[in-house]
Amino acid sequence: MSLRARLTIGTACALAVAICAGFVGAYFVVRGQLRGEIDDALKARGRAIARLVSQAPPAVTPPNIQIAPPRLGGAAGYVQFVDASGSVFLSAGETTRLPTQGVSAVASGQNSAFLRDATVGDIHVRIYTTRLDNNTAVEIARPLTEVDHSLARIRLLFLLVSVVAVAGAAAIGLAVARTTLRPVQRLTADAERIAATGNLNDRTDAGRSDELGRLARAFNTMLDALGRSVSAQRQLVGDASHELRTPLTSARANLELVELHETLPENERRRLVEEASAELREMTVLIEGLVELARADAETPTRERVRLDFLVDEAVATAARRSATPIRAHLTPTVVEAAPAPVSRAVANLIDNAIKWSPEGAPVEVTVRDGTVTVRDHGPGIDATDLPRIFDRFYRAPAARTLPGSGLGLAIVRQVAEAHGGTITAEPAAGDGSLFTLRLPAVDRPDDGRTPTAPDSPGDAATQTNGKRTRTERLRVRKRSAAT
């Protein structure tokens, strides 16, 4: 069943139920009003008979009292007297008896006056029973024929009106469904057109201020995000193809040269093979970076509370083993909500970048404090024209094109920072060199029982190169990073 049909049926049913409920309520109100007028007339007639009985001489019993008719020809009702013993007394000339259940109790004063319906001689009547004196009660009956006929006509009228109202409700429901779903149909048509053409630059109408307008704006926002993702994918594929083509072409040319010229001197052959191997190693590093970028785009890192200073200390120790460049680490205990493995890779990339640009003998300075990692080198610094693009994928400054690297290291750092709700910035350092700052959301408490304890020396916030932590603590950090 379509949404339009469900809306039509739902609206029609709701209106039909409301109309029928209104008619039923109106019917019972009219019924109560009509029967209430009969009841009031019977009670008034009973009071009039009671006054006549009270004014009659003691020798005159109720059946023999001359009951005057109502004024202006009003309905007098059929009168019957019953004593406490249950004996029935009719007025002169009357032969029809009314039901007497419970009347003797009213005559003796045990029960109070009451009203009831009864059928006497196939006539639906309303009977009022009230006490006249210490031993007698009177029953006054009036037929309900006219009231019943009026109520029957009202029921028929209400039924016909209800049928018409339900039909009108269905028509209204259909109109409401069409009006309500028209923007949805436009949005559906726009989505189908965009899916068919693949043009992510198309947009749907988002000028409405209601929920459907919000849906249209959300759809346009989704298209914007999808367009950016597709553009980034195309750019990544294009850049990767360009970057992979150069080392692959060079390696293949060297290997083909070795294969075609068997008479080349041994040292020349060795040089060509080494160059091809170097190109292939560079291509391997590039592919690994691409795989990491793609994996980070597809997965959401699982965060936990980790000691950022421990992760940085491990990265510093690894870099110190691989390079002769001195590294000065100033690590303050700090806890962040992060995925250990990606953060460790980002910090390692920052340190490797600083080592690459540091002059021989110049130290790299690494600082951790309040969820912030700063890495400073003392190299030539970053040119102002390169500064806005150094975190772009595959971007390499002119001065870096002769150095090893794929142009993906800093892009991975930015991706990790953004995935954790943090930031990465680069700026010229005071004096010389460059300063990179990685900021991650810090946790107030430095240790919550789920992370390793602070370094060995109490209150010691600074370590040199490999730090002062015990071997057991290092193994705990390595295990946690590997598990992530």
pLDDT digits (tens, 9 = 90+) for 392-402: 766 666 555 55
Could you tell me if residue 180 is inside a domain? no
Provide the pLDDT for residue 141: 92
Task: Please give the DSSP secondary-structure letter assigned to residue 447.
Answer: -
CA Rg value for the chain: 50
Could you tell me if residue 156 is inside a domain? no
Task: Output the six-digit token pair for 448.
Answer: 């919550």
Provide the pLDDT for residue 240: 65
Mean pLDDT of the region 191-206:
79
In whole numbers, what is the pLDDT of the chain averaged over residues?
79
CA distance 173 to 179: 10
Could you tell me if residue 437 is inside a domain? yes
Instruction: Say if residue 269 is in the same domain as residue 307.
Output: no
Mean pLDDT of the region 292-305:
68
Instruction: Say if residue 111 is in the same domain as residue 95.
Output: yes
Could you tell me if residue 380 is inside a domain? yes
Compute the half-sphere exposure of residue 17: CA atoms within 13 Å on the CB side of its CA: 5
In 56-144, alpha helices (H): 103-107
Provide the pLDDT for residue 468: 37
Provide the pLDDT for residue 375: 94
Provide the pLDDT for residue 459: 33
For 139-174, write each residue's pLDDT tens digit: 999 999 999 999 999 999 988 988 888 888 888 878
Percent of the chain topping pLDDT 70: 79
Count the domains in the chain. 3
Residue 9's identity, in one-letter code, is I
Task: Please give the DSSP secondary-structure letter assigned to residue 360.
Answer: T
Provide the pLDDT for residue 400: 57
**Residue 139's domain spans which residues?**
3-67+74-150
Residue at a domain's end among 276, 293, 310: 293
Could you tell me if residue 170 is inside a domain? no
Could you tell me if residue 26 is inside a domain? yes
CB 297 within 8 A of CB 332: no
Q: Indicate if the alpha-carbon torsion angle 301, 304, 305, 307 is positive or negative.
A: negative
Instruction: Say if residue 258 is in the same domain as residue 368.
Output: no
Could you tell me if residue 225 is inside a domain? yes
